[in-house]
Amino acid sequence: MKRRHLLNTALGLGAATAIPAWSQSYPNASIKVIIPSAPGGLTDPIVRFLGDAMQRSMGQSVVMEHRAGGGGIIGMQQVMRSAPDGYTLVMCSSGPMFLTPAMHPAIPYSFKRDFTPIGSLLTFENVLAVPVTSKANSVADLIRMAKEKPGSVNFASAGIGASHHLSGELFKRMAGVDITHVPYKGSAPAQTDLIAGQVQMMFANIPAAINLIKTGRLRALAVTGTQRNAALPDVPTVAESGIPGFSVITAVALYGPAGIPRDIVMKLNNEVNRIWATPEGKKTLDGLYLTFTKGAPEDLGAWVDAETTKWTAVIKAAGIKSGD
């Protein structure tokens, strides 16, 4: 028994010391970053820039791979099931990470159990936009219109569960108005109908709607952040427009499967933080209308936890569930 105990102890020490020794050589192969959506989205230029910078500094290629389907579920499952060695990561927005699970209770993954937060919170806001022909010139006008004729105001979104949809549901709840959700298959057709006046309002992503606003094809009434957006400095927040506490911020961040060794997580976190803080990184993010918040993996995890609690309550109150 004593001999077996010593043997097991030796094996255990060998396994324990193997991880740091192996981790110190990280990375010694290419890193794959899964994007759980179709090509052409906001995440693509983020991963492309980050991958090029990481390849120059870390000496290994970063391969971008799209795994669309199931609202991000397919891509997320692939990462969840991959080895926790830091060579398969996922760059995703709030949707696949915690909004989709909140709407689908039977979803096969959870943030706390199956993923490791790595870092770099890149955030963007929505803008409450109306057609230029609308009689609403402020949030107060829009609320008054909705209350005068309940059910007459329709709001567009890129689909059920998208940030545009959930922004509208939160607005409906906090403003006490009866407005109707009209889901589309993507932002482009939703914005096209908004411009034409087929729908009366939309909480559009600022990166997607900014040019339509600046060229006078849409009218911006408010932004959904906690403070005014530098891209639209004259547009007030929804909170300062009469709905205190209203805030919708979407984030893109880097995650890995559960169980990645701490030293690899911190090496990635430090590297990503460094890259976004460079002049080139700042220029890239400014061009995408994204805000970078430097933080540790724990900061990202805490943010996801808080947002999960908030949006689960909104989703439950609105009755949004699997199959809708």
pLDDT tens-digit profile of 244-253? 999 999 899 9
Tell me the mean pLDDT in the region 261-276. 96
**HSE-up of 275 (CA within 13 Å, CB side)?**
25
Contact between 223 and 232 (Cβ < 8 Å): yes
How far apart, in whole angstroms, are the C-alpha atoms of residue 190 and residue 81? 35
How far apart, in whole angstroms, are the C-alpha atoms of residue 265 and residue 284? 24
Q: Kindly state the helix (H) or strand (E) to which residue 322 belongs, with its residue range.
A: none
Q: 30-86: per-residue pLDDT in tens?
A: 999 999 988 888 899 999 999 999 999 999 999 999 998 877 889 999 999 999 999
pLDDT at position 322: 53
For residue 9, name the pLDDT band (cuts at 50, 70, 90).
very low
pLDDT of 3 above 50: no
User: What does residue 229 show for φ and ψ, rounded to 5 degrees?
Assistant: -90, 135
Contacts of 299 (CB under 8 A, 6+ apart): 119, 121, 293
How far apart, in whole angstroms, are the C-alpha atoms of residue 55 and residue 63? 10
Task: Identify each DSSP E strand in the chain by its residue range.
Answer: 31-35, 62-66, 88-93, 115-131, 153-157, 179-183, 201-205, 218-223, 249-257, 291-293
CATH architecture observed for domain 31-124+250-318: 3-Layer(aba) Sandwich (3.40)
pLDDT at position 6: 36
Structure tokens at 9: 């102890």
pLDDT at position 1: 40
SS3 270: helix
How far apart, in whole angstroms, are the C-alpha atoms of residue 176 and residue 174? 6
Whether the domain at 31-124+250-318 and the domain at 125-241 fall into the same CATH topology: yes
pLDDT of 17 above 90: no
pLDDT at position 80: 96
Pairing of the two strands 201-205 and 153-157: parallel
pLDDT of 13 above 70: no
CATH architecture observed for domain 125-241: 3-Layer(aba) Sandwich (3.40)
- Give residue limits of the domains in the chain: 31-124+250-318, 125-241
pLDDT at position 24: 62
pLDDT at position 16: 39
Q: What is the mean pLDDT of the chain?
A: 89
137 CA to centre of own chain: 29
Contacts of 309 (CB under 8 A, 6+ apart): none
Q: Kindly state the helix (H) or strand (E) to which residue 206 belongs, with its residue range.
A: helix 206-214
pLDDT at position 70: 79
pLDDT at position 4: 39
Q: How many CB atoms are located within 10 Å of the residue 235 CB?
A: 19
How far apart, in whole angstroms, are the C-alpha atoms of residue 54 and residue 34? 16
Tell me the mean pLDDT in the region 159-186. 92
Partners of 32 in the beta sheet?
A: 63, 88
pLDDT of 276 above 60: yes
Q: Which of 204-213, 236-245, 270-279, 315-324 has the lowest mean pLDDT?
A: 315-324
Tell me the mean pLDDT in the region 270-288. 95
Contacts of 213 (CB under 8 A, 6+ apart): 127, 129, 219, 220, 232
Tell me the mean pLDDT in the region 308-317. 90
Percent of the chain residues topping a pLDDT of 90: 73
What does the chain come to in residues? 324
How far apart, in whole angstroms, are the C-alpha atoms of residue 153 and residue 181? 9
Alpha-carbon dihedral sign for residues 231, 234, 237, 238: negative
pLDDT at position 15: 39
Q: 207-265: per-residue pLDDT in tens?
A: 889 999 999 999 999 999 999 999 999 999 999 999 999 999 989 999 999 999 999 99
How far apart, in whole angstroms, are the C-alpha atoms of residue 199 and residue 180? 10
Contacts of 296 (CB under 8 A, 6+ apart): 119, 269
pLDDT at position 68: 85
The CA-atom distances, in angstroms, between 297 and each of 76, 80, 294 are 18, 17, 10
Q: Which of 90-99, 125-134, 201-210, 265-274 has the lowest mean pLDDT?
A: 90-99
